[in-house]
Amino acid sequence: MIVYRPLGHDREWPEIQVMANRGGPPWVLFLEAADREHLGATSRTRDGVLADLRRRWPHLRNVPILPSGGVPLRDDLQLTPTGYKLAARKAEVYGLPRGSPLVGN
């Protein structure tokens, strides 16, 4: 499912994407605003949706965002007490040093 924000002039921008995850929990991705004019509205929408999701499902986990703006493959992640981190064995594949805060032990 993708939620679009109208931009006017019959244009829309994808803002939120919900992805099924091969039998695992779905991922909710928040995409950047199309232009600076909509950054504040996008942040408020993201913050509100996250607050609603956390109230409903308090055990939600964060997934690391890579420096490129992408997310690692599910199989490359490990669950930690603070959320998901990139598995150390995969750090090099993503161009990250093992000491990166995005990489688990």
The per-residue pLDDT for 69 is 82
DSSP code of 42?
A: H
Residue 44 CA to residue 48 CA, distance in Å, equals 6
Please give the distance of CA 2 from its chain centroid, rounded to a whole number.
Answer: 14
Name the pLDDT band for 89 (thresholds 50, 70, 90).
Answer: very high
Map out the domains of the chain as residue ranges. 1-59, 61-105
Q: Which residues pair with 46 in a beta bridge?
A: none
The per-residue pLDDT for 54 is 83
Does pLDDT of 94 surpass 80? Answer: yes
Does pLDDT of 95 surpass 70? Answer: yes
Residue 85 CA to residue 34 CA, distance in Å, equals 28
Mean pLDDT over the full length of the chain: 77
Of residues 79 and 44, more confidence is placed in 79
